[in-house]
Amino acid sequence: MKELLRIYVHIPFCKSKCAYCDFNSSSKMNHMVKPYVDALLTEISLNSEELRNKKIDSIYIGGGTPSFLSSKYIHTILKSFNFDKDTEITIEVNPDTADYKKFIEYKQMGINRISFGVQSFDDEILKLMGRSHTSQESIKKILECQSAGFDNISADLIFGYPKQSLSQYKETLEIIKKIEVQHISAYSLSVEDGTLLSNMIKKGLLPTPNDKDDRLMYHYTIESLAKTGFSQYEISNFSQARYESRHNLGYWERDNYLGFGISAHSLMDNIRFENTDNIYEYVVSLKQLVKPRINIQELTKEEIITEHIILALRLTKGLNIHDFEKEFGENFEEKYEKALETLVDRYLLEKRGDNYSLTRQGLDLANQVFVEFV
């Protein structure tokens, strides 16, 4: 049986840069699109040995805004991989850079999952975020995507944004439920240094996000989506039955994955590495047929165990003590007796059967739980 492998492809180009975004992306590098795609193809070719005799279970094309590129580039990239009909292939899409024709083209090239960067259905909040689409545009494009034959659609939402009220966020959830997507990723806003949003808050142009409102929105998300058939399977992810993101589950379950493109991260046989974050260095390296890898790290057993615990606890099913002992040859409850006692007493962790998982309070304070195992 072939070993499962997951593929991530980073497309750093955008129509415009959002206020909150700290991903490696740019709206001023259009002249680099062709050289970058050529370099991507070379990088994929240089990794042919790693790809050989592997079953690619998922491919995720993220960014940036992959839908900003013409379909011919996306198709050329996908043709470089040997994938099966049942491979989950996701592309991230912004509502203003895709249309019915592009969705049809995606379908024809084997893409079977679309992840929409919706973020909000409130035009006032979208403007504050620096998004280049309107709420009506999001609705229209999701409906076009469904008309093109896609039945595995995800929508990204952000809550806790400055000036965002609970009522505004509730309306966003009501709209997304009516459109009937299969998956929702709802992220609590993280204000990252160096972003336009961070600078605006520092200058007093926007208020600091309100933690209380953020938690109210998160709790409402969990309760509201549960009433309409969505199950929470990870801290920020909700899906209809059998529509969990196979690709992201692979990250949380520590499957091997290869990342292509600038800043892309990889995990292969417990060796972590990443690519340079400089697009010019990336292109030049690959012109010289040199892999652009940096920060190569072989993980120790304890590092692997820590990663396993933290990633397993992100999932609502939690960590199975028998799986832990089978993989590491150690008794989880004995090894972490003190930490478990403390976390259970504080109602941050609970044991259900043979699994430890975060409580509702633990979901709010997940980082306090994770640090106990570092």
Higher pLDDT, 226 or 27: 226
* Torsion over CA: 246, 120, 151, 137 (sign): negative
Domain 3-252 has CATH 3.20.20.70: yes
Helix (H, G, I), strand (E, B) or coil at 15: coil
Cβ atoms 6, 250 nearer than 8 A: yes
Confidence of residue 19 (pLDDT cuts 50, 70, 90): confident
pTM metric for this prediction: 0.95
Question: Distances from the Cα of 356 to the Cαs of 86, 162, 188, 230, in angstroms?
Answer: 32, 35, 24, 22
Tell whether the model's pLDDT for residue 18 goes beyond 90.
Answer: no
Name residues whose C-beta falls within 8 Å of residue 8's C-beta, 6 or more positions apart in sequence: 59, 60, 62, 247, 257, 258, 259, 260, 264, 265
CATH assignment, 301-373: 1.10.10.920
- What's the CA gap between 218 and 360, in Å, rounded? 11
Cβ atoms 158, 130 nearer than 8 A: no
Tell whether the model's pLDDT for residue 87 goes beyond 70.
Answer: yes
pLDDT tens across 144-187, in order? 999 999 999 999 999 999 999 999 999 999 999 999 999 999 99
pLDDT tens across 281-308, in order? 999 999 999 999 999 999 999 999 999 9
For every residue of 223-279, DSSP letters joined together read: HHHHTTTPEEEETTEEESTT-S-HHHHHHHTT--EEEESTT-EEEETTEEEEE-S-H
Average model confidence (pLDDT) across the chain: 94
Query: What ranges do the domains of the chain cover?
Result: 3-252, 301-373
